[in-house]
């Protein structure tokens, strides 16, 4: 949904199978990401996952749909039509109720779609016109990654969670990858690896000053690092909630930093004092 500054709903689109992410296009349309069942005749031939863990005999895959403001579908892509059942194998430690588990939807300036298939340990660019993959990378390198996005220099920044990856200890990394060569040209990680680790969600944003804002989602930790890996700013989410899977937690899916001159803030006044009942948690003031 699209909200105005006073939280009034200006536009919304409802579809039961949508998940994780969406993207507003320059033409006013919205690209959405969702689940759909693969054809039943394909299920026995999809490789990977724990045997016998399909959902009622089915396996779910991902689709992308471009939706006009009046809710018309003007373009769509179905993963099962373009993935390779032999080589696009899902993680053997995960259940077979899903094949891919996409967690990112970003439409690039040329109209192609950049995404992340978590269970395939793969980031990919989908060609808008043919539906074929223009780029696929990550197998044997990534571990259930999140949030790939294009940088102005043409490289891709992403959060490599490191979960179920082929290395001896838990670790997460933020990587800058050059798609033309598949070379990792910059990374942030720690030694030992468990000092920086989030097995799920998370993301990163390259800032105008060249630093990188990192969302360590599992721990609710947001921090900024220089190109040399020095931490120069840090914030830990003080707001906790209860989750039936994870119990009491302060997780953060993704985070962005906006400069004071961001167009969306033009003419708006940010008033922290209006939210004193929330901000006292950070300031250490425990008001009623």
Q: pLDDT per residue over 220-245, tens digit each?
A: 999 999 999 999 999 999 889 998 98
Calculate Rg over the CA atoms of the chain: 20
How far is Cα of residue 150 from the mean position of the Cα atoms in its chain? 13
Residue 162 contacts residue 175 (beta carbons within 8 Å)? no
Question: What pTM value is reported for the model?
Answer: 0.94
Q: What is the pLDDT of residues 75-118, one digit of tens each?
A: 999 999 999 999 999 999 999 999 999 999 999 999 999 999 99
Helix or strand run (H / E) with residue 280: helix 276-283
Q: pLDDT at position 282, please?
A: 53
**Residue of 270 and 123 predicted with greater confidence:** 123
Q: Is the pLDDT of residue 195 over 60?
A: yes
Pairing of strands 90-95, 48-50: parallel
Q: Is 121 left (phi over 0), alpha (psi -120 to 50) or beta?
A: left
Q: Is 20 left (phi over 0), alpha (psi -120 to 50) or beta?
A: left
State the residue for tokens 């033009």: 266
Token readout for 254 is 């993704």
Pairing of strands 18-24, 2-3: unpaired
Q: pLDDT at position 285, please?
A: 44
Query: CA 23, CA 66: separation in Å to the nearest integer?
Result: 9
Instruction: Categorize the per-residue pLDDT at 204 as very low, low, confident or very high, splitting at 50, 70 and 90.
Output: very high
Helix or strand run (H / E) with residue 282: helix 276-283
Supply the mean pLDDT for the chain: 94
Q: What is the arithmetic mean of pLDDT over 69-74?
A: 98
Query: CA 133, CA 251: separation in Å to the nearest integer?
Result: 32
**Domain range list for the chain:** 1-102, 140-288
Sheet of 133-137, strands arranged across: 106-107, 113-117, 122-126, 133-137
First to last CA, the chain: 33
Instruction: Categorize the per-residue pLDDT at 286 as very low, low, confident or very high, splitting at 50, 70 and 90.
Output: very low
Q: How many Cβ atoms are within 10 Å of 97's Cβ, its own excluded?
A: 15
Instruction: Categorize the per-residue pLDDT at 280 as very low, low, confident or very high, splitting at 50, 70 and 90.
Output: low
Q: What is the pLDDT of residues 9-21, one digit of tens each?
A: 999 999 999 999 9
Q: pLDDT at position 287, please?
A: 42
Q: How many Cβ atoms are within 10 Å of 142's Cβ, its own excluded?
A: 29
């Amino acid at each position: 949904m699209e909200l105005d500054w006073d939280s009034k709903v200006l536009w919304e689109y409802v579809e039961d199978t949508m998940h994780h992410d969406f993207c507003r296009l320059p033409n006013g349309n919205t690209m959405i990401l969702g689940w759909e069942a693969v054809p039943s005749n394909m299920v026995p031939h999809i490789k990977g996952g724990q045997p016998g863990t399909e959902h009622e005999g089915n396996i779910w895959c991902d689709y992308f749909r471009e939706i006009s403001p009046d809710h018309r579908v003007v373009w769509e892509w179905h993963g099962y039509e373009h993935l390779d059942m032999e080589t696009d194998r899902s993680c053997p430690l995960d259940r077979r109720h899903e094949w891919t588990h996409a967690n990112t939807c970003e439409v690039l300036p040329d109209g192609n779609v950049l995404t992340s298939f978590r269970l395939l340990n793969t980031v990919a660019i989908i060609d808008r016109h043919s539906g074929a993959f223009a780029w696929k990378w990550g197998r044997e390198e990534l571990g259930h990654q999140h949030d790939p996005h294009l940088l102005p220099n043409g490289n891709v920044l992403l959060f490599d969670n490191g979960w179920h990856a082929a290395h001896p200890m838990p670790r997460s990394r933020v990587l800058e990858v050059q798609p033309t060569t598949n070379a990792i040209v910059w990374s942030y990680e720690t030694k030992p690896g468990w000092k920086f680790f989030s097995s799920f969600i998370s993301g990163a944003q390259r800032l105008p000053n060249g630093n990188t804002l990192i969302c360590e989602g599992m721990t609710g930790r947001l921090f900024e690092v220089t190109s040399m890996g020095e931490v120069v700013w840090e914030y830990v989410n003080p707001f906790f909630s209860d989750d039936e899977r994870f119990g009491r937690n302060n997780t953060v899916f993704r985070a962005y930093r906006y400069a004071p001159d961001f167009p969306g803030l033009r003419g708006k006044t940010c008033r922290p004092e209006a939210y004193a009942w929330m901000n006292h948690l950070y300031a250490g003031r425990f008001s009623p």
